[in-house]
């Protein structure tokens, strides 16, 4: 069977039987079945294809098909559901209940697989998918070997879901157990992040565009940031998450994969081994910090009570169901890494990921070094030149953005940051996918490019192990916290500030439109302002402004509250979300008239003097609004 959407350069996969363990679980209904249906609709599965599911649930072929049929319309990613395509797939779905510990069940399973092989002419090819707990992997693969699955004609490939171990020791043990019975080229360690188009495009972007590769080194790049931010908390997954944490769940696998693609050396070809060799070398070049160096190179925290992104109340992580009230599991982590090779020597790589944050988004920011400013020394732009940034938006937006300096219209040489953006939704017509389609298709073809090898897995665990060990040894009472719905712990911002850098927060016009001062501002102004603002997070009791200092910036409060103190350090007023402060010193060119201190954790946008003045020229109405407030605060009205 081929569909009209298939093409000669994308042929259907090889004939095979997909043997799915854990077939009745969430992964099957939410991701694998919709992904297989997408492959059917795109003409990428051959007529010689079938599925054999096994789990503990007492079902037969008919009841298992009925279960999946009830679920597919909920979880399908197709814009328009195609019943005839689903019917084709459904008739190839089979099931038998089984106990993974019983040899006789695997003997019966082998007989069923052989029957399906004859019926659908599958040539003995078998794709085993282990959608099961890591603790069962060795048991199931051993049972397959002992039952005689190796003796079948055709190829046999085993897809192993993450996590690949829970630490360095368990990862090594799992690899040893698998490699005792199976060859490395038969093992496909799957990471669904590598199925995302924008992640795959990292390698194409680098090596297919000659403009960037000459700049991709320590001579031109200042630093790189990887951010994976989630608005959801544990929310029903406390039992799993409290044994995992963000380092195991996100950083050690997903984020290291993106890091490898972005920073590895050019492979000799796109042969799978050539690509995986370079990925392995990159991760092995990551510096392993000492136990006592962890406080300098890493931050961990848990979310405390706060407000969710939708404004509803959020409970603390330790109050979530099935979470230990004294849990030391991190829901947020930030790390500073170094790649010890010639290309990246001295270029810090910053990673952060967390739950219950202010927005959902996965982004990579490549910040270039500043251009020489000497030729602009006698122009209004002498202090306005900023770093160029190349931003990869992975999700939910899928885009590549390049931020550069451009001359603003007018008689004077005034520079302004602008962005050039390529958006996937505008450039390509592609159906929404789960991310598993390309991975399943690649495995059926025997292409291991997008799958992890044991050397990559073990090297990545080696890098994060000191962080896990140090944080595990710290008392539960010393766990830093951050309010749910915030930008994260202030300690993560301090880590970058010590290096003279700051986290990049993608601010859009929708965020700024909620600021009272900016109500009614033109969209072009809001777009420009979004490129000017700098984020900062401060902790309870931190002084943001000192009375008497000359002002060089103003502040907008995105989350939290501040208090204004009089000459005797007594609170006289409070400001909350959406408010601004610090404009007095800028507008009236005078020292700060009061001290401003954070009451709790605060997320702030900073607008520097030069950008502030430029913003006022673009939106003069803002000058009137702020001047009235400045006069009032300075006691001049």
Q: Is the pLDDT of residue 486 over 50?
A: yes
Task: Give residue 301's Cα distance to chain centre.
Answer: 18
Q: How confident is the model at residue 198 (pLDDT cuts 50, 70, 90)?
A: confident
A 10 A CB-CB count for 387 gives: 18
Q: Which are the contacts of 66, defined by CB distance < 8 A and separation ≥ 6?
A: none
Token pair 């709790």 is found at 600
Q: CA angle at residue 509 from 504 to 512, to 5 degrees? A: 80
Locate all alpha helices (DSSP H) within 514-600, ordered by sequence: 523-532, 583-587
> 357, 308, 359: which is closest to 332 by C-alpha?
357
| Range with the poorest average pLDDT among 351-365, 503-517, 544-558 | 503-517
Give the pLDDT mean for 230-248. Answer: 90
Buried b / exposed e across 527-539, counting CB within 10 Å, b at 16+?
A: ebbbebbbbbbbb
A 10 A CB-CB count for 7 gives: 10
Token pair 């992580």 is found at 317
Q: Which are the contacts of 169, defined by CB distance < 8 A and separation ≥ 6?
A: none
Q: Give the pLDDT of residue 3.
A: 41
**22, 64 Cβ separation under 8 angstroms:** no
A 10 A CB-CB count for 346 gives: 10
> 607, 620, 617, 610: which is closest to 376 by C-alpha?
610
Give the pLDDT mean for 131-152. Answer: 93
Distance, in Å, from the CA atom of 431 to the CA atom of 591, rounded to the nearest integer, reads: 57
> Does residue 254 carry a catalytic annotation?
yes
Note the pLDDT tens digit of each residue in 17-29: 999 999 998 999 9
Buried b / exposed e across 212-230, counting CB within 10 Å, b at 16+?
A: eeeebeeeebbbbbbbbbb
Query: What's this model's pTM, rounded to 2 decimal places?
Result: 0.85
Buried b / exposed e across 300-321, counting CB within 10 Å, b at 16+?
A: bbbbbebbbbeeeebbbbbebe
Q: Which residue in the list 94, 223, 254, 504 is annotated as catalytic? A: 254
HEC-encoded secondary structure of 3-27: CCCCECCECCCCCEEEEEECCCCHH
Note the pLDDT tens digit of each residue in 351-368: 999 999 988 889 999 999
Q: Is the pLDDT of residue 430 over 60?
A: no
**499, 348 Cβ separation under 8 angstroms:** yes
Q: Is the pLDDT of residue 547 over 50?
A: yes
Q: Give the pLDDT of residue 536.
A: 82
Give the pLDDT mean for 279-288. Answer: 97
Across the chain, what does the average pLDDT equal?
87
Task: Give the torsion through C-alpha atoms of 488, 493, 495, 501, to 10 deg.
Answer: 140
Full DSSP string of 311-329: S-EE--GGGSTT--TT---
Q: Is the pLDDT of residue 6 over 60?
A: no
548: left (phi over 0), alpha (psi -120 to 50) or beta: left
> What domains appear along the chain, each with residue ranges and CATH number?
16-161 (3.40.50.720), 195-367+396-401+450-495 (3.30.360.10), 507-633 (2.60.120.10)
Structure tokens of 468?
A: 């896990």
Q: Is the pLDDT of residue 217 over 90?
A: yes
Distance, in Å, from the CA atom of 91 to the CA atom of 65, rounded to the nearest integer, reads: 8
Question: Could you check whether the bond before residue 163 is cis, i.e. omega within 30 degrees of 0?
Answer: yes
Q: Give the pLDDT of residue 383.
A: 59
**408, 3 Cβ separation under 8 angstroms:** no
Q: Is the pLDDT of residue 138 over 70?
A: yes
Give the pLDDT mean for 579-584. Answer: 81
Q: Give the pLDDT of residue 56.
A: 94
Distance, in Å, from the CA atom of 228 to the CA atom of 247, rounded to the nearest integer, reads: 11
Token pair 């990292």 is found at 202
> 234, 244, 193: which is closest to 355 by C-alpha?
234
């Amino acid at each position: 069977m081929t569909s009209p959407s298939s093409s000669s350069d994308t042929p259907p996969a090889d004939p095979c039987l997909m043997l799915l363990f854990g077939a009745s679980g969430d992964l099957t209904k939410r991701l694998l079945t919709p992904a297989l249906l997408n492959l059917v609709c795109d003409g990428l599965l051959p007529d010689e294809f079938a599925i054999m599911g096994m789990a503990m649930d007492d079902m037969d072929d008919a009841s298992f098909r009925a279960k999946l049929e009830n679920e597919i319309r909920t979880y399908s990613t197709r814009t328009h559901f195609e019943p005839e395509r689903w019917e084709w797939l459904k008739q190839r779905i089979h099931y038998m209940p089984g106990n993974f510990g019983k040899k006789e069940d695997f003997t019966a399973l082998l007989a069923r697989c052989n029957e399906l092989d004859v019926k659908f002419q599958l040539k003995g090819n078998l794709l085993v998918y282990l959608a099961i707990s890591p603790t069962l992997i060795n048991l199931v693969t051993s049972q397959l070997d002992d039952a005689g699955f190796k003796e079948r004609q055709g190829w046999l490939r085993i897809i192993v879901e993450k996590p690949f171990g829970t630490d360095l020791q368990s990862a090594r043990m799992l690899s040893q157990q698998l490699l005792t019975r199976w060859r490395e080229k038969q093992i496909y360690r799957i990471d669904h992040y590598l199925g995302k188009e924008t992640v795959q495009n990292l390698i194409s972007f680098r090596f297919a565009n000659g403009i960037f590769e000459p700049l991709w080194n320590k001579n031109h790049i200042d630093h790189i940031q990887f951010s994976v931010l989630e608005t959801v908390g544990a929310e029903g997954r406390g039992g799993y998450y409290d044994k995992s944490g963000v380092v195991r769940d996100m950083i050690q696998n997903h984020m290291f994969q993106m890091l490898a693609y972005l920073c590895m050396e050019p492979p000799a070809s796109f042969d799978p081994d050539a690509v995986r060799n370079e990925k392995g070398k990159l991760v092995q070049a990551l510096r392993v910090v000492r136990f006592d160096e962890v406080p300098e190179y890493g931050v961990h925290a848990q979310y405390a009570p706060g407000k969710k992104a939708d404004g509803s109340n959020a409970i603390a992580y330790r109050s979530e169901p099935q979470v230990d009230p004294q849990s030391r599991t991190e829901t947020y982590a930030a790390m500073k890494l170094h790649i010890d090779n010639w290309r990246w020597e001295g270029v810090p790589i910053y990673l952060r990921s967390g739950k219950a944050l202010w927005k959902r988004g996965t982004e990579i920011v490549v910040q270039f070094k500043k251009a020489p400013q000497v030729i602009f020394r006698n122009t209004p732009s002498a202090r306005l030149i900023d770093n160029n940034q190349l931003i990869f938006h992975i999700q939910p937006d899928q885009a590549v953005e390049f931020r550069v300096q451009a001359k603003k219209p007018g008689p004077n040489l005034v520079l302004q940051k602008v962005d050039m953006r390529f958006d996937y939704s505008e450039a390509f017509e592609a159906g929404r996918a789960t991310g598993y389609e390309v991975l399943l298709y690649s495995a059926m073809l025997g292409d291991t490019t997008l799958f992890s090898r044991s050397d990559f897995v073990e090297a990545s665990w080696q890098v994060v192990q000191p962080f896990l060990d140090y944080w595990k040894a710290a008392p539960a009472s010393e766990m830093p916290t951050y309010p749910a719905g915030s930008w994260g712990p202030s300690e993560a911002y301090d880590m970058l500030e010590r290096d003279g850098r700051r986290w990049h927060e993608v601010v859009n016009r929708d965020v700024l439109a909620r600021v009272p001062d900016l109500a009614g501002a033109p969209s072009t102004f809001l777009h420009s302002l979004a490129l000017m603002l700098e984020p900062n997070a401060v902790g309870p009791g931190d002084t943001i402004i000192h009375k008497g200092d000359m002002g060089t910036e103003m502040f907008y409060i995105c989350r939290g509250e501040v208090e204004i103190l009089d000459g005797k350090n007594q609170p006289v007023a409070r400001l909350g979300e959406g408010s601004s402060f610090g404009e007095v010193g800028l507008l009236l060119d005078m020292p700060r008239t009061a001290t401003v201190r954070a009451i709790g954790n605060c997320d702030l946008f900073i607008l520097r003097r030069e950008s502030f003045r430029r913003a006022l020229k673009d939106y003069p109405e803002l000058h009137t609004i702020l001047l009235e407030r400045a006069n009032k605060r300075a006691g001049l009205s």
